[in-house]
Each structure stands twice: as C-alpha cells, then as structure tokens.
A and B are shown apart, each in its own frame.
Chain A
Amino acid sequence: SYELTQPPSVSVSPGQTASITCSGDKLGDKFACWYQQKPGQSPILVIYQDTKRPSGIPERFSGSNSGNTATLTISGTQAMDEADYYCQAWDSSTVVFGGGTKLTVL
C-alpha cells in the first residue's frame, strides 16, 4: 500500500518561513493536498492539486510537488498558523494521509 511520510514536528519563529515536507514514492507523479487542523477542530483544506489555494486561505500558504516530495510552505508564519498539518494523496482508488506534522510557532 502507498505511504506518505511527514516529520512529526517542525518549529519556526514568528515571521519566518516554515516548510513541511511529505515524502512518497514518485509522489510528484500524483497530486498532493494539505490540511490544517487546530486542537478540537475539523481539518481545513489549505492546498489542493499541489499548488492551489482554496478561497479564504491566506496567500502565505503555498505548495509544491516534485520527485518524491511535496512541500507546504508558510511564509511570514503567524502564531495562528500553529497547528497540525496533514498531506494527502490518491493512489489506486485509495485516499492516503501522511502521519501529520505539528507546527510550533516559537
């Protein structure tokens, strides 16, 4: 079965750029999306089809996907961006999530 691997945690200082990676075999040949989940809340889609932002998602969120790695980048990170982030892809009629990354804004 297909697997996506994320680092368990990433730390960033306010105003700096945070990068969260998601690795999978030939992930660049698939489409990745990203969800943000804050404590006690449902996940929210922040990036889809590798690079697209849904309406209402700030421009500081961006995505890329090439080779075996998809990356979520948050530019000018704010305290409100502290959350868990999950990547997700679709493979052989199956939806696959990464294990999640806890982003801490120190």
Chain B
Amino acid sequence: QVQLQELGPGLVKPSETLSLTCTVSGGSITTYYWNWIRQPPGKGLEWIGYTYNNGSTDYNPSLESRVTISADTSKNQFSLKLTSVTAVDTAIYYCARGARGGNLYYYFYMDVWGKGTTVTVSS
C-alpha cells in the first residue's frame, strides 16, 4: 500500500528556510494531489498546499508568499520550502495524498498520511 515519509531538519533558525521532503512508496506521484499540512503544538490542522499534475500547485493564501511545493518524479518525492520562518512556524509537518473529483461540485480528501515530522524554529 502507499506509504509516505517526511524527512528534514528538526531545528531551523529564525529567518531561515525550512525544507522538507516527502518520499512516497507503493505508488506514483504522477497521479493524485500531494499535500503538506502542519499542526502547531496543541492546535489544529492547517493546510499548506499541494502539487499535482507534474508540477501544478495551489497554496494556502495565508502562506502563499513564503511557500514553494515541488515534485521530483524521478525520485517519487515532493518537497516543501517555507522561507523567513519564525517561532509561529514551529509545528508537526505532515505530508498526505489527496484525491479530487466531481463535476459541478468538487470533493477533496486526503486518504494517506505520513507520520509527521516535528520542526522547531529557534536560535
């Protein structure tokens, strides 16, 4: 079955760039929507964005100016870059597979999630 694993540094300094990679096994990233979601300590889920269709992206408007999500189909991986981080970016970061469809009304759900990786922003 499809499995996702997040990798990246657990500690990032303020003002620097957070970089994470999600490796997908058991399925190809050339289909579906590949998402990043984060969860600050003790708080709810926040969608960051996704990549699909070999490079197209959509982002959370509140983060769009700082976020880049890209895919490397040769490695079956997709990545997150978040620039100019501050303490409020401290969170568990999850990657997840998404499915979208419909005609007049669109559905979207995320059916496979990674275990998450904790990123702390601190000097």
- Contacts from A to B (Cβ < 8 Å): 1, 29-31, 33, 35, 37, 42-45, 48-49, 54, 84, 86, 88-90, 93-100
Contact = CB atoms under 8 A, between A and B. Distances in A.
Contact of A48 (B44, B58, B107, B113): B107
Chain A at the B interface: mostly helix, strand, loop or mixed?
strand
Interface stretch (B9-17, B22-30, B45-53, B81-89): B45-53
B113 A44 contact: yes
B107 A90 contact: yes
Nearest to B101: A49
A95 B108 contact: yes
Nearest to A95: B47
Given A42-B94, A95-B35, A49 B109 contact: yes
Interface in B45-65: 45-47, 50, 58, 60-62
B66 interface: no
A33 B100 CA distance: 12
